[in-house]
A and B are shown apart, each in its own frame.
Chain A
Amino acid sequence: AQSVAQPEDQVNVAEGNPLTVKCTYSVSGNPYLFWYVQYPNRGLQFLLKYITGDNLVKGSYGFEAEFNKSQTSFHLKKPSALVSDSALYFCAVRDSGYSTLTFGKGTMLLVSP
């Protein structure tokens, strides 16, 4: 079975400060990990993914994520937050041998001016 947890319902950060949105996962095989963002009244937009290789993955809009196998985590980060980054962020996992994604509950990121 595959599962993913996002422990924070909401993250608040001031514009210009670094941000982190947390994600932990559970799989029986090798994990394929994804971050998506959802703006109000919009579908999901793909940000980045980890398949294999470097633990630090860079994606769209200046976001990056760090894969940590020992801690089974895949936290989303950005060095300097923008007000326009305010949105709902979803972490997702696919276990090797599976064809479907499992999503976390989502974390609302609020960036204040």
Chain B
Amino acid sequence: SAVISQKPSRDICQRGTSLTIQCQVDSQVTMMFWYRQQPGQSLTLIATANQGSEATYESGFVIDKFPISRPNLTFSTLTVSNMSPEDSSIYLCSVGTGGEGDTQYFGPGTRLTVL
């Protein structure tokens, strides 16, 4: 399986600021995803990061709030913009090959606290 790293591992931010989270994979992958896990909750898919084109966002998530970049097949960033305390969550990067039976693997996550 791919080795996935995320930076930062955790951060404490002030309301109204933005944070960019990086996801790096040790091999080329077709699919990269960003998830949010709010305290005590399950995982919710934010968007699929598409290489060379705009990300595909799930219902309830918009590009202005969560801009995503994917410049190549091993790297992606997620920005959480104009943060509020409600954005306090764990943000997880996930990768896969895109096949129907494909296994998705997850990074260690970024724990974000917004004050």
Q: Which residue numbers of A lie inside 8 Å of B, CB to CB? A: 32, 34, 36, 41-46, 49, 51-52, 90, 94, 96-101, 103-106
Cβ B92 vs Cβ A43 within 8 A: yes
B residues bordering A, Cβ < 8 Å?
Answer: 1, 4, 31, 33, 41-45, 48, 58, 92, 94, 98, 100-101, 103-109, 111
Known pairs A100-B45, A103-B43, A105-B42; A43 contacts B98 (CB<8 A):
no
Closest beta carbon of chain B to A107's beta carbon, Å: 10
B101 and A51 form a contact (CB under 8 A): yes
The smallest C-beta distance from B10 to any residue of chain A, in angstroms, reads: 9
The residue among B41, B101, B109 with the most chain A CB atoms within 10 A of its own CB is: B101
A46 touching B42 by the CB < 8 A rule?
no
Whether A101 lies near B108 (C-beta < 8 A) is no
B101 lies within 8 A of A32 (CB): yes
- Which residues of chain A are near B104, meaning CB under 8 Å? 34, 46, 101
Tell me, in angstroms, the Cα distance from A49 to B87 when the chains sit together.
31
Secondary structure call for the A interface = loop
Residue in A36, A41, A103 whose beta carbon sits within 8 Å of that of B111 in the complex? A41
Chain B residues with CB below 8 A from A36, complex form = 106
CB < 8 Å neighbour of A49 from B4, B44, B94, B101: B101
Which of these, B41, B92, B100, contacts A44 with CB under 8 Å? Answer: B92
Listed from nearest, the 8 A-B pairs whose CB atoms lie closest are: A51-B101, A44-B106, A43-B108, A43-B106, A103-B43, A105-B42, A43-B109, A103-B42
Given contacts A44-B94, A46-B105, A105-B42, could you give 19 more A-B pairs where the C-beta distance is less than 8 Å? Answer: A32-B100, A32-B101, A34-B104, A42-B109, A43-B108, A44-B43, A44-B92, A49-B101, A49-B103, A90-B43, A98-B100, A99-B31, A99-B48, A100-B45, A100-B48, A101-B104, A103-B42, A103-B43, A104-B42
